[in-house]
A and B are shown apart, each in its own frame.
Chain A
Amino acid sequence: MKTMMVLSALCFLSLSLSAQDKVVDPKVTASVTEIVTHYLDLKNALANDNGGDAAAAGKEVVISLSKVDKSLLTSTQKKAYSDLADDAKENAEHIGENGGKIEHQREHFELLSKDVYDLVKTFGGGQPLYKDFCPMYGDKGGAWLSETKEIKNPYFGKKMLKCGSVKEEIK
């Protein structure tokens, strides 16, 4: 009986812990919203084939990533955030440094898109977003996030601006 009680107490504890991890401080979500805003600027610059604007937006992404107040995160959240943010930072830095090489920027944008998608899924994006996918990019296609339902492909720009479709609506 005693062990049962201990076990159920432990069970309850672990449940309440994971529930706690699902609650995200609104200030964190607000910071993630800022990251997403700059990510979307970057996405639009790439869709316009503008490497210079993409580089500028990439630098803004880097700055906004450092603004998240990590003291508001639980330890599990902190771990998830660090992995995502470290990766996003590195990708955004490369985009920021390679204004003259838009294909490099796009390759890092693909990885950054995955990071930002997971950030939004974990911490909230603060706005409705669409996950788009274009099967023509690279070996197995590339995904990105957009604020509009209309497809504007950041991987091809005007070469194939309409390639892709909405795969998911994120609210």
Chain B
Amino acid sequence: MIGIKKILAGMLIVFMAIQFIRPARNENGQAFSADAPNNFDIPENILTILKRSCFDCHSNNTRYPWYAHIQPIGWLVAKDIKDGKAKLNFGELGDLSPRRKATKLQEMKNRIKDGTMPLPGYIFLHRDARLSKADTELILEWIEDVDRIGKVLLKL
């Protein structure tokens, strides 16, 4: 009996200790604006959807839920953001060459079509981030448009 109490107390101490190891926050404080020079020209209706469903992991500004301030959840959130931004960062998409943009958009289209993005675990916790059928169609249509123009420019 004393053993279990000791173990529980030990776990509590560890839990409290890890609260002090906080990952850096993914916030640059700048609101994303589609016409900022580094950004990508995204129409307002698409931007609204992307902000809600994609930007938490694919931009320089995350809206952190309250539980992301509790470790180790915060660490997992930080890892998703790091991985997400490495693949695609809307805040820096504008810096890429037309070739790179075309590839990023292609991947985005495939992921959304597959339903592998937004991540199922993320949607489970963020119900509002789920892409409705109408949202999906709007995004895919937009990508097709951009893609068509982009490929003409690239002479693919």
Q: Which residues of chain A have a CB within 8 Å of any CB of chain B?
A: 83-84, 86-87, 90-91, 94, 98, 101, 104, 107-108, 110-111, 114-115, 139-140, 143
Contact = CB atoms under 8 A, between A and B. Distances in A.
A104 to B, nearest CB: 5
Given A94-B107, A107-B106, A107-B110, A83 B99 contact: yes
Interface residues of B, number: 15
A108 B151 CA distance: 13
Contacts of A107: 106, 109-110
**Chain B interface, >50% SS class:** helix
B156 A110 contact: yes
B156 A143 contact: yes
B11 interface: no
B99 A87 contact: yes
- Return the 9 tightest CB-CB contacts between A and B, nearest first: A104-B110, A114-B156, A87-B99, A83-B97, A111-B103, A87-B103, A90-B103, A87-B100, A91-B103
Contacts of A104: 110, 114
Interface of B: 97, 99-100, 102-104, 106-107, 109-110, 114, 148, 151, 154, 156
Contacts of A98: 110
A101 B154 CA distance: 26
Nearest to A103: B110
A155 to B, nearest CB: 13
13 contacts: A83-B100, A87-B97, A87-B99, A87-B100, A87-B103, A90-B107, A94-B110, A104-B110, A107-B110, A108-B106, A111-B99, A114-B156, A115-B99
A143 B155 CA distance: 11
A86 B102 CA distance: 13
A84 B102 CA distance: 12
B98 to A, nearest CB: 10
A111 B97 contact: no
A105 B109 CA distance: 13
A83 B97 CA distance: 8
Contact of A114 (B99, B107, B109, B148): B99
B119 to A, nearest CB: 15
Contacts of A90: 100, 103-104, 107
A139 B148 contact: yes
Contacts of B110: 94, 98, 101, 104, 107
B156 A111 contact: yes
Among B106, B109, B148, residue most surrounded by chain A Cβ atoms (within 10 Å): B106
A111 B105 CA distance: 11
A104 B116 CA distance: 13
Nearest to A105: B110
A101 B109 CA distance: 14
Nearest to A83: B97
A104 B154 CA distance: 20
Contacts of B114: 101, 104
Contacts of B154: 114
Nearest to B151: A140
Among B114, B148, B151, residue most surrounded by chain A Cβ atoms (within 10 Å): B151
